Structure formats: structure tokens, C-alpha cells
Structure 1
Amino acid sequence: MEMNSAKRVEIIIEAPMESRLTDAIERAGVTGYTILPVLGGSGRSGRWSREGQVSRAGGMVAITCIIRPERLDELLESAFEVVERHIGVVSVTDCQVLRAERF
């Protein structure tokens, strides 16, 4: 099987910002992504957890997408317009995919 190079972008952001971020991602031409709830973690401000929260307002989500390397800059510029003003982490890693035509 032939493997193809791609970029995996993961953005963790406050849950209320989910739709703004996905709108920005879509404006950058990304057609596929996955959204997962973040149950807790630890960061600069210490440990945190969604345990006991009634609403998702205090929670975080992880939005992950896999894209062709040449689309990375446009995606990061669009996403950063949302992320820069909010709590969030953006990571980019190299990955290999089958069926590159899907990305």
C-alpha cells in the first residue's frame, strides 16, 4: 500500500468557541474534521476537570483534522484568528495516510 504525507492538526479550545473555530476551519477549505470532548487535563493554571459541570460552558473540545501539507498555512491563519483570544492549544504533527484523495 502506498502511504502519503499529510499534516495532523489538533486544536483544543473552550467548548463555547467550537462553532466559531469550525466555521474558520471550513473557510480555510477543510472539509473533514473530528470533534471530541476533553474530559480534563493539566496546564499552566493547574489541573482541571469537567466532572460535576452541568453545562459545557466550562469545558474544552479537541478538533482534529488531517490535511495536505500545502493547506497548512491557510488553516493555521484562519484558526489562529479564533484561538489567539481564547484558552487553547494548537499542535501540528506529520502523519501518513492511505487514500490521499480524501484529504
Structure 2
Amino acid sequence: MERTDMDEIELGALKKLEIVVEGEHREFVTDLLDHAGVKGYTIVENLSGKGAHGFHQGHLMFNDDALLIMIIAAVPEPLVQPILGGFAPFLGRHSGVVFVSDIQVMRMVKFQG
């Protein structure tokens, strides 16, 4: 059988955190991730969706702090529990959710210390 470039691609196991909070809490989330040693993350703004508090419209005219955002980070498994522990008190006082899933990524060097 002929080898392809796909045969040489190596993937590494990480955990994906998808954190949905109101925009006013962006700094709390990014500070927590930075202090935990997360190498990078992606911020998606103007989310729409329905949750326990009803429907949230994506784009408001006057107040970006009230918008929902999602911060996505790929992290090594040992960081997951400390990060979730940092979120526990926050989620006791504010709306939001953290999704955790298993993922495979290319270029593991981007996620290692």
C-alpha cells in the first residue's frame, strides 16, 4: 500500500475547554487561564443561544458586556482540574458553563511548556 502524508501526521491528546460567560467576565476567564499556564485561547463573541436563563440574542447595540462569549482552549489534562476549581466559585455566583471534551491536535509543541 502506498504511504501518504497523512500516515506521518502525529496527533496528541488534549482536553478542550469551551467556556461560555457574559462578556463582562472575559478578563476573569482569561486571567484564570493565563495563571494556570494555558498557552493560548480563542475568543468567540456575540453568541446567540438558549439556556437556563432563556434566549440570548447575539448582537446588542449598546453594551458588549451583556453579550455572551465563548473562550476555547486546548489544555493538557493536568491543567483541567485546577482550572475547573478556579471556576467553581465563579459559577456559584454567575451564569455560565464550561464544556470539557477529549480532542486530538496537530503541532503539540504549541501546547507544551
Runs of 4+ displaced beyond 4 Å: none
Greater percentage in helix: 2
Aligned residues: 103
Which position in structure 1 is the counterpart of 2:90?
82
Select 1:57's aligned residue among 50, 59, 65: 65
Greater percentage in strand: 1
Segments of structure 1 that go 5 or more residues without pairing to the other structure are none
Which position in structure 2 is the counterpart of 1:68?
76
Cα distance in 1 for residues equivalent to 2:89 and 2:109: 28
Which position in structure 1 is the counterpart of 2:34?
26
Which position in structure 1 is the counterpart of 2:106?
98
Cα deviation for residue 78 of structure 1 reads 2.2
RMSD of aligned Cα (Å): 1.5
Cα distance in 2 for residues equivalent to 1:91 and 1:52: 25
Aligned amino acid, residue 71 of structure 1 = L
Task: Work out the percentage of aligned pairs sharing the same amino acid.
Answer: 30
Cα distance in 1 for residues equivalent to 2:23 and 2:14: 27
Which position in structure 2 is the counterpart of 1:5?
13
Which position in structure 1 is the counterpart of 2:6?
none
Q: TM-score, normalised by structure 1?
A: 0.88
Segments of structure 2 that go 5 or more residues without pairing to the other structure are 1-8
Larger mean Cα displacement after TM superposition, 16-25 or 42-51: 42-51
Q: Secondary structure at the match of 1:87?
A: coil
Whichever of the two has the greater Rg, that structure is 2
Cα distance in 2 for residues equivalent to 1:100 and 1:70: 15
Q: Which has the higher contact order (CA 8 A, sep 6+)?
A: 1
Cα distance in 2 for residues equivalent to 1:31 and 1:4: 15
Which position in structure 2 is the counterpart of 1:41?
49
Q: Secondary structure at the match of 1:70?
A: helix
